[in-house]
Structure 1
């Protein structure tokens, strides 16, 4: 069913009335003459100059033979879509690749960090073992044993030099003890 034929009218440019109203062609002026079809049934207040109203009869006489002028909508703005779409695709792909590169570098650095932490833990254990060895070697009994092993002998009475004036206190004498049997000198070495 054609929209224009549902009221019994034929398609001559007339529209069906809105919500039970009259069509634009059915409006008449006060003088009894029909005005031209108004755009979508809108009220019209003709003006002469900027704001003065003219009588309806003069409006009908002046506009009867001329077509009505209407304000045309602005032309649609055509933005090139290809460069914009390409820019968006480049930004998205660049962002994804950037995030991928950052994540890869973070994971690589995490592996290096784990390796360095394991190396640090090993070095800490080595340091503790060396500190224990130093403490054991510094004990008085071990120092004496190591000195005897190297062939050192115990001196009787040491002599001292007083530093302010350089005077010697005591008489220096060489040690005359026998080297230990386990020393390198006692083995003929």
Structure 2
């Protein structure tokens, strides 16, 4: 596909002087990196004067007639920031952070030791509780209850009598218990 390029003057095949310029109107890369009047326009070299060669001096002297001076962007003024307060603040933050982490780790370790001790106490109390439940179950057995009652001097009674509360009527005949107290009881020992 061959397309003739025409500039505004109507000439075919020749590019105008503006044809090399970008459409955005900005500077090209070649123009950005060149120095004007012996001074760099970008970077840290913009603050330093660069020596000119003899060719640059001749081109500069034979350049366009003296007219209004060309404007250049001046480098920004150096900013003097006090560094000592900033460094002190950073040190305080770092030291505070390290101390905070140490404090948290110390508390975690203390709590871990305390938890271990409490778990050991809990396990020993669980064992003791199991032993006490076993003893209670042995004492609650019917044979053991009867033996303990005989040791205390209690005897078996006959059929019981009941009192009905609403009217006070006695159902059955109450009788005293008849039986010999055990030899080991205080009544059976003759006291």
TM-score, normalization by structure 2: 0.66
How far 1:84 moved relative to its partner?
Answer: 0.6
Q: Select which of 57, 62, 66 maps to 2:67.
A: 62
Deviation at 1:185, TM superposition (A): 2.7
- 1:75 corresponds to: 77
For 1:112-131, what per-residue CA distance to the aligned partner results, in whole angstroms no more than 9, with x for missing partners?
11111111111111111111
Partner in structure 2 of residue 4 of structure 1: none
For residue 164 of structure 2, the aligned residue among 149, 162, 165 is 162
Out of 24, 27, 33, the residue aligned to residue 59 of structure 2 is 27
Q: CA deviation at 1:163?
A: 3.5
Query: Where does residue 181 of structure 1 map in the other structure?
Result: 183
Residue 161 of structure 1 and its aligned partner are, at CA, apart by 1.9
Structure 1 residues 75 and 151 mapped into 2: Cα distance closer, same or farther (>3 Å)?
same
CA deviations 1:90-113 (Å, max 9, x no partner) are: 011001111111111111111111
Change (3 A) 1:126 1:78: same
1:69, CA displacement in angstroms? 5.4
- 1:111 counterpart = 2:113: yes
Gaps spanning 5+ residues in structure 2: where? 1-50
Partner of 1:150: 152
Q: SS in structure 2 opposite 1:112?
A: helix
Cα distance in structure 1, aligned partners of 2:147 and 2:52: 127
The 1:161/1:14 distance shift into structure 2, 3 A limit, reads same
What SS class does the counterpart of residue 146 from structure 2 fall into?
helix
CA RMSD of aligned residues (A): 2.2
Secondary structure at 2:67 match in 1:
helix
In the alignment, is residue 121 of structure 1 matched against residue 156 of structure 2? no
Residue in structure 2 matching 1:135, options 114, 134, 137: 137
Corresponding residue of 2:86:
84
Could you state the TM-score of these two structures normalised by the residue count of structure 1? Answer: 0.67
CA–CA separation in structure 2 for the residues paired with 1:83 and 1:27 = 51
Match in the other structure for 1:101: 103
